[in-house]
Chain A
Amino acid sequence: MGLMERIFGHGPRWGVHPADRKRPAADAPLRTLPLPARLYLPLLQHVGQPARPVVLVGQKVLKGQLLAEPQGRISAPIHAPTSGTVAAIGDITAPHPSGLPFSAITLASDGEDRAIENEVPADPFALSPAAVTELVAAAGVVGLGGATFPSAVKLALGKRTEVTTLIVNGGECEPYLSCDDRVMRDFAAGVVDGVRLMMHALGAREALVGIEDNKPEAIAAMSKAAAPYAEIRIRPVPSRYPMGSDRQLIQTLTGKEVPSDCRAADVGVIVNNVNTAHAVHRALRQGEPLIRRIVTVNGGAVWQPGNIMAPVGTLASDLLAFAGLKSEPARLLMGGPMMGAVLPHALVPMVKGTAGILALAADEIATPVAGPCIRCGNCTRACPIGLLPLEMAAHIRVDALAGAADLGLSDCISCGCCAYVCPAHIPLVQYFSHAKGELWAQERSKLRLEATKRLAAARVERQEREAKEKAAAAARRKAERAAQKAAEAAAAASAPTEAAT
C-alpha cells in the first residue's frame, strides 16, 4: 500500500477490517457429528410465525418427517433430523442472551437414522417456477446466512416484482466463521445446482456469486463448478466487513443502491446465501428437507476448531464436546464476534440459522471500559450506511430519541463497525438497540392510544346516533299515533254518513 493510498484511502470507503481468524478452522476437513441422543427443535427458527406441531408426545417419527407445519404467510415447517421418539413439546432455553424459555420439540434419537421416503422430481427444471418454490417451502428452507427469512417467500417475490439478478452471498465477512467457505469448497457443484434452481424459481437471468478475496480456494472451486454456466458469474469482492450484508454486497456487485424503504427485490435483485443454495439443491435433488447444516466451531478455547456437519437441534455443548475444549471458554457466542449473540450456557440448541458456535478465550474478548466520546469521527467513517453514530449516541444519552431517529437510526443495521473502531469503547450498538426498542414501544403505545381514541369516538358517535334514532322513532310513533287518531276521528266522522246511506 503506497503512501498516498494510506493517507487518502482505497477500496470501499465504509466498514472495517477486523482480523479474520478463519484459519486454521477453515482449512480443516469437514467432519460429521455422530448422532446426538437428543435434539431440541425450537418452533421458531425463522423470521415470521412459529411453526405448529403436528406430532404428539411419544409418537415415533422418521428422519425427514414433518414435525411442525407453517402457520401464516411467512413461516416455515420443521422436520425430524433423525428417527426417534418425540420426547417432549414444551419450553427450553432459547438460543438468545436472555436465556428465556422457548417453545420446542424434543426428539429422542433411536440411533437408527431411518429416513422417510420423499419423492424427488425427475427434472426440477421441467417444473413450473411456482412448483419449485412450493417444494422449497415444504422442505423448510430458510436463509442460512443468519437472517433465516423463509426462502420460498423470497423466491415467490420473483413473480410479483421482476427479479433479473440473483446474488449469491459467499461473502462471509464475519471473523472466525467458515461454514460458507467450506460449503463452496466441498459442495461447489451442489451450490451451483442450487443457484440454478433458484434462478429458475425466480425467473432471474443472471446470478452473481460474491466471494470475499480472502477465500481463494472457494473462489477456485466455485469458478470450476460454474464454468459450464455462462449465466452464473463468480465475482471476488474485497474482504471488508460487512461485505456480507445484502445492501453492501448488492452495491458492490451491481452498483445498485437499495432505497431505504424498499427491499432488494424492488430493484430487481434477490440475495441468497451459498448454504441456502446448497439446501435448495438437497431439497430438490435428494428430497432432504433442511435438517442439518454446516456449523463452524471455533475460538481460542476450542481444541480442534473446524466445520462440522450437524443435525439442526444439536446442543452447543454436544458440538463443543466433539471439537474438544482446551480451557473454560470466557464467552460463548452463537454467530460471529461482530453480530453474534452471547449464549447464557452451552445447553442451547443450534438452529437453522446458526453459522457458528464460538468458544472464545479470555484474551479474545473485548472488555474495555467505556470512556467519554472525543468526537474523533472514526465511527462516521466506518459506518457502511453513512450514519453519524456519535451524534445519534449523544442524542440517545439524553433520551432525545426523536433526534436520534431524525439522524437515521432506523437505517442502522447493527453491524457493529462503529463500536469496533471506537477508541473510547462506547457500546454504540447497545445504545442503538436500546433506542430502537424504546421507539418501537413508543410507536406501539401511540397506536394503542389512537385505537382507544378511535373506539371512544366511535362509541360517542354510536350513542349519539342511537339517541337520535330513538328520538326519531319516538317522533315517528307519535306521528303515527296522531295519524291513527286522525284516521279514527275521520272514520268516526264518516260513519254516520255511511249509516245514512
Chain B
Amino acid sequence: MNSTLLAAAPPTAPHAVAANSVSRIMLTVVATLVPATLYGFWLYGWPAIDLFLVTILASLLGEGICLRLAGRRALPELLDGSALLTGWRLAISLPPWAPWWIGVMGGLFATVLAKQVFGGLGQNLFNPAMVARVFLLISFPVQMTAWVAPLPITAELAPGFVDGLRIFFSGPANLDAVSSASLLGYAKTELSRGIDLMHSLAASGAPGNSLAGERPGSLGETAALLIAGGGLVMLFMRIITWHIPAAMLAGIAVPAAIAHAVDPLRYLDVATHLLSGGAMLGAFFIASDYVTSPNTKAGQLIFGAGCGFLTYVIRTWGGYPEGVAFAVLLMNALTPVIDRYVRPRILGRNRRGAPLDPAIERAKAAP
C-alpha cells in the first residue's frame, strides 16, 4: 500500500484519539521499575549503579547508530523510551557487580542484533533484553554467574564511588571473597552433591529473605515484592492486563506445588520458586512485553502458562539453575503460532468463522 497516497489523502475519521502514546507507555513501565531499581542500588552499591548506567547507555547507543544507518531521524525514535526500557530490563537482570564490558556488549547486542536487525520497534520476534542476557550467559558463564551478597551502600565495608569504579573496570580485588551463589543455584549445586533441600536450605532463610531481597541476585530479582508492586501498578494503569503475569506465576506455582508435595526434599516449595530468580520480573516485566507476546487474551494465557511451566522445568531438571530467560525466548518463538491458532470470536460468527444460525439467535429470550 502506497503510504504517500495515504499522507496526501484528507484526514479521515476518527478525528479524536485517546491521550496515549508509545512513549507514555514505555515511560510508565520504566517508572514502575524505579523503586525496585533504587532498592537494588542501595543493596549493591556503586558498582551496580555504574553497570546499570553503562548498560542503558550502550543500548541507547546501539539504537541510535542503527537509526542513523537506516537514514531515519534518530532523536524522536530514540526518545520514545523503548531502547531505554530494553536497556533497563537487561541491566536489572545482570549480576550487579559484572564488569563494564558485560554491560556494553549486552546493551549493544540487545538493541542492534535483537531489535534493529529485525526492523526496529515492533518487529523483533524475541525479547531483546532476554536475547542479550542469554547471549551473555552462554558466552561468559563465569561473569554471568558471579553473584555478590548484598552489601548496602551505607555499610562500612561497601565500596565508595571511586572503589566502585575500580571494581567496575578491573573487577573486585578478590572475587571469591565477595561472590556467592544465588538461592536457586545453591540449591541446585547442593542437590547435585547429594545434599537434600532440608539440609541445604536450613541456613539460607528462604523464602523469608527473598521477600526483603537479603540474598544474592540481580537488581531485578532480589526485591521480588517491589517488582510485584510495580507490576500491580501497571495493571492498575492498564498498561498490561492480568493474563500473562497470572498465567506465568500459575505456570510456575502449580507444578512446584505438586512436586513439592510429592518430595519436599528434592523439590523447592512454591513460595521459594515465586520469590526467587526472575519469576516476578519475568511475569510482570519480561513476558508481558507487547511486541513478543500474543495479542489475544486466550493466547496470552497460553503464552504465560508456557513461560511459567518451562521456567519450572528448566530450573528443576535443566542444566541452569534459572530458566526465565530461556522460557520466555522459547515462548516468544511460539507466539506467531499461538496468534495464528488462537483468535477471538468475531461478532455474528462462531469460533470457526462461520456465520451464526439466525434461527437460534431469533429464539433467544431477552435477558
Contact = CB atoms under 8 A, between A and B. Distances in A.
Given A247-B347, A386-B346, A255 B367 contact: yes
A364 B14 CA distance: 12
B236 A341 contact: no
Contacts of A247: 347-348
Given A260-B348, A411-B348, A422-B17, A7 B242 contact: yes
B345 A420 contact: no
Nearest to B344: A386
Given A259-B348, A259-B356, A374-B22, A338 B14 contact: yes
Nearest to B12: A430
A255 B293 CA distance: 33
Contacts of A339: 13-14
A432 to B, nearest CB: 11
A388 B343 contact: yes
A340 B13 CA distance: 6
Contacts of A391: 295, 339
Given A247-B347, A371-B22, A424-B22, A175 B16 contact: yes
A338 B16 contact: yes
Interface residues of B, number: 52
B362 A256 contact: yes
B120 interface: yes
A220 B1 CA distance: 50
Contacts of A260: 346-349, 355-356
Contacts of A94: none
Interface stretch (B3-11, B198-206, B209-217, B250-258): B3-11
B332 to A, nearest CB: 12
B264 interface: no
Interface in B314-367: 339, 343-349, 353, 355-358, 361-362, 364-367
A224 B159 CA distance: 78
Nearest to A17: B18
Contacts of B290: 374-377
A340 B14 CA distance: 7
A134 interface: no
Given A3-B236, A7-B235, A375-B291, A340 B348 contact: no
Contacts of B13: 337-341, 414, 416, 429
Contacts of A396: 1
B265 interface: no
A424 B122 CA distance: 11
B189 interface: no
A2 to B, nearest CB: 11
Contacts of A267: 358, 361-362, 364
B259 interface: no
Nearest to B24: A423
B15 interface: yes
A411 B343 contact: no
A258 B293 CA distance: 32
Contacts of B21: 368, 423-425
B20 interface: yes
A374 B1 contact: no
A256 B361 contact: yes
Contacts of A364: 15-16
A408 interface: yes
| Among B6, B25, B80, B295: residue with most chain A CB under 10 A | B295
A384 B17 contact: no
Interface in A303-347: 331, 333, 337-342, 344
A254 B344 contact: no
Contacts of A19: 16
Given A399-B1, A427-B12, A255 B22 contact: no
A266 B362 contact: yes
Nearest to A369: B76
A372 B347 CA distance: 28
Interface string B98-129: 00000000000000000000001111000000
Nearest to B120: A372
B154 interface: no
A495 B252 CA distance: 118
A2 B221 CA distance: 30
Nearest to B291: A375
Contacts of B22: 371, 374, 423-424
Contacts of B291: 374-375
Nearest to A438: B1
B15 A258 contact: no
Interface in B1-51: 1, 6, 9-18, 20-22, 24-25
B357 A259 contact: yes
Contact of A429 (B14, B20, B343, B358): B14
Contacts of B25: 374, 376, 423
A249 to B, nearest CB: 12
Given A257-B348, A342-B11, A6 B361 contact: no
Contacts of A256: 361-362, 364
A434 interface: yes
20 contacts: A247-B348, A254-B366, A255-B366, A259-B356, A267-B361, A331-B11, A340-B13, A372-B122, A385-B346, A385-B347, A385-B348, A388-B344, A408-B349, A419-B14, A419-B17, A420-B14, A424-B21, A425-B21, A433-B12, A434-B6
Interface of B: 1, 6, 9-18, 20-22, 24-25, 80, 82, 120-123, 235-236, 238, 241-242, 290-291, 293, 295-296, 339, 343-349, 353, 355-358, 361-362, 364-367
A-B CB proximity, top 10 nearest? A260-B348, A416-B14, A259-B356, A366-B17, A377-B295, A337-B15, A259-B355, A266-B358, A261-B355, A386-B344
Interface of A: 3, 6-8, 16, 18-19, 97, 175, 208, 247, 251, 253-262, 266-268, 331, 333, 337-342, 344, 360, 364-368, 371-378, 380-381, 384-388, 390-391, 396-397, 399, 407-408, 411, 414, 416, 419-425, 427, 429-431, 433-435
